[in-house]
Structure 1
Amino acid sequence: MTVALIIATYNWPQALELIFLSVLNQRRFPDEVIIADDGSRSATKSIIENFEMVFPNKVNHVWQEDLGFRKSKILNKALKATSCDYIIQIDGDCILHPQFIRDHIKFSETNTFLYGSRVNIQKNKVETLFASKQVRFSSFSKGIKKRTRALHIPLLSVRYKALPSLSSKIRGCNFSYWRKDALAIKGYDEFYTGWGREDSDFAARLLHNGIMGKRIRYAGIVYHIWHSEESKDKVNQNTDYFNQVLDEKRIYPKEGI
């Protein structure tokens, strides 16, 4: 199968540079890297151009105008821009474990999406992180918490089975699925603007359409860089809408692909 890595980003070129370094450290490269850019300025473009020169496979910068937080819309544009069979999706604040791509491929199954864990890099580590350009970590590394999530022991991952229920552990920063399954539910719901619930909505509608979800713990690890929180001014509106999606077991978005 062909695999695309989609990176959702917005105006944080320092973090994106570390992500690219971690992509270059992968044991298995994705066939395509797509930067789903929600309106970043020219500094981000320069980082992407530098990465294009050294990455051996396709790099696609998908950009939209900055009109506020529109992650769902840019992810749909990214999904339409690729023809790869399998999508691995992260956020632009997550550094990849060297086995990240390989793990998601290894544990992929038909009619199933995967969601993994994130190890939190603490606030007091961020300055030195960027200065040193560190992209390799272990459960003993300084400046991280949730250390058990940093244990890479894929043999233990087999304990986790695909389930038809929505897990509170699902995060769009560590997520993978078959592109055909995403297109079958018409992608992300662009109703969601502002932070909150767009990833859970997408997962819920996959489940409503018969696709099961499987957690991959002890594999598929990302390291989340601390940052100040996004504005949550739309979270109540988004939560109310998401609850309707759950109650009605909706499959299709109000506005999607």
Structure 2
Amino acid sequence: MITVALTYRNRDLQIVENCLDSFQNQTNTKFIVVLVDYGSVETCKNKLSILVSKYSFVKLIQCKTQQQLWCKSRAINIVLKPCETVSFFVGDIDMIYHPNFIKTLFNLQSKKDFSYFQVGFLSEAESKTKQAFNNYKISFKSTEEATGMTLYNTNVLKSINGYDEFYHGWGTEDTDVHVRLKQAGFNMSFYTDKVLMLHQWHPKNYRKKNDITPFHTTLEQINHEYLKLKQQTKSIKENLNFSWGNYNDADYDDLNKIDFSFKLTNKESEIKAFINNVLLAKSNKIIQVNISEHEAYKSLKQAIKSLVGKKTIQFLEMQRINNMLLEAIISNLRDKPYNFQYHIKNQTISLTIKL
């Protein structure tokens, strides 16, 4: 058996259906698909559950992480940690797979050489058609720099603690795994004998103006710099100080049982004191904090004091506070259950976390 790990959040369900249909048509059926819904909104969550029930080979895991940053690494690790099959393939839900794809994976299984695959990209018009795999017209193909679709030996991937859960937002986590495995002495082979998967076109999910889903403005840049430093330090094993790949619904239900509640303003001193004395304290408590703008923030009195050189209250912009809190969670608390919202319209932030 081979385990196929797929991740999902609020995608077009037609894309998901096309993907799962392609697994339904595999010539080799010795596989299981584990699909992790990492925090979809309720409407998508319910519709996905109904759709997946049509496919006996799919196991669906739905995480209550709607108010958390997207973390593909953790979603993959949730599948990896209990995995007992010899091989573990990480794919994408927006792919259509060749009927002989699983058969090919079995032929490529190895403890030393791992394979990742070239992808054929379809146009918008082509993606909306239904036809046999070989009849699709490919617009262009991925290069060896695209490392997302990879077949691993399960035990080897577990030996480096899976995907690094530092990576949040989009990108870099797959390249990171390749880099660490190469540094550990394994080979990564780019399979180009035949295109075995097709990427379905879909619009990019741009953030809506009043979206309260957690979002950090520079995460992508931080991820790339983090990877560059890791290459210099020759890091191999990650997630050393965290319980990687763990998820429990009950932990998220506990977020309703608040032990301490705080009301803060955007005064710099308040925010820094809270982060260092409460958020990063090992209290084993469930805390909630609500942050709003101070009444003196942007006031005429403060502006005049600043102009004449008098001492003023130091404030932080709410976007900066948003980023600071999310960075603290990613770096120190990423295995803790939490709910986070930044209401841009009202300029308020709310965080509930189980420390």
After TM superposition, the score normalised by the length of structure 1 is: 0.80
Q: CA deviation at 1:81?
A: 3.3
The corresponding residue for 2:55 is 51
Q: Please tell me whether residue 214 in structure 1 is matched to residue 189 in structure 2.
A: yes
Q: CA deviation at 1:214?
A: 0.9
Specify the code of the residue in structure 2 equivalent to 1:18.
N
- Closer/same/farther in 2, CA of residues 251 and 60 from structure 1, 3 Å limit: same
What runs of 5+ residues in structure 1 fail to find an aligned partner?
150-166
Q: CA deviation at 1:169?
A: 2.7
- Closer/same/farther in 2, CA of residues 136 and 187 from structure 1, 3 Å limit: same
Cα deviation digits, residues 180-209 of structure 1 (max 9, x gap): 011110001110000110000011111112
The corresponding residue for 1:156 is none
The corresponding residue for 2:199 is 224
Residue 50 of structure 1 aligns to a residue whose secondary structure is coil
Q: CA deviation at 1:135?
A: 5.5
Residue 91 of structure 2 aligns to a residue whose secondary structure is strand
Identity %: 24
Which of 235, 241, 247 is the aligned partner of 2:226?
241
Cα deviation digits, residues 88-125 of structure 1 (max 9, x gap): 12111011011111112212222121101111011233
Specify the code of the residue in structure 2 equivalent to 1:253.
E
What runs of 5+ residues in structure 2 fail to find an aligned partner?
207-216, 246-355
Alignment of 1:112-123 (within 5 A): 112-123=113-124
Taking the aligned partners of 1:191 and 1:230, their CA distance within structure 2 comes to 22
The corresponding residue for 1:152 is none
Q: CA deviation at 1:220?
A: 6.0
Specify the code of the residue in structure 1 equivalent to 2:171.
G
Given that 2:38 and 2:70 are in contact with CA atoms closer than 8 Å, whether structure 1 keeps it comes out as yes
Specify the code of the residue in structure 2 equivalent to 1:62.
I
Specify the code of the residue in structure 1 equivalent to 2:139.
K
The corresponding residue for 1:20 is 20
Residue 4 of structure 1 aligns to a residue whose secondary structure is strand
Cα deviation digits, residues 109-166 of structure 1 (max 9, x gap): 221211011110112333x33xxxx26232x634x3127x8xxxxxxxxxxxxxxxxx
Taking the aligned partners of 2:182 and 2:205, their CA distance within structure 1 comes to 27
Specify the code of the residue in structure 2 equivalent to 1:8.
T
Q: Please tell me whether residue 141 in structure 1 is matched to residue 136 in structure 2.
A: yes
After TM superposition, the score normalised by the length of structure 2 is: 0.59
- Closer/same/farther in 2, CA of residues 121 and 204 from structure 1, 3 Å limit: same
Taking the aligned partners of 1:211 and 1:201, their CA distance within structure 2 comes to 14
Alignment of 1:180-195 (within 5 A): 180-195=155-170
- Closer/same/farther in 2, CA of residues 220 and 63 from structure 1, 3 Å limit: farther
Q: CA deviation at 1:228?
A: 2.7
Cα deviation digits, residues 186-239 of structure 1 (max 9, x gap): 001110000110000011111112221111112361100112335684211100
The corresponding residue for 1:108 is 109
Q: CA deviation at 1:168?
A: 4.5
Given that 1:101 and 1:220 are in contact with CA atoms closer than 8 Å, whether structure 2 keeps it comes out as no
The corresponding residue for 1:60 is 59
Given that 2:116 and 2:151 are in contact with CA atoms closer than 8 Å, whether structure 1 keeps it comes out as yes
Taking the aligned partners of 1:188 and 1:146, their CA distance within structure 2 comes to 28
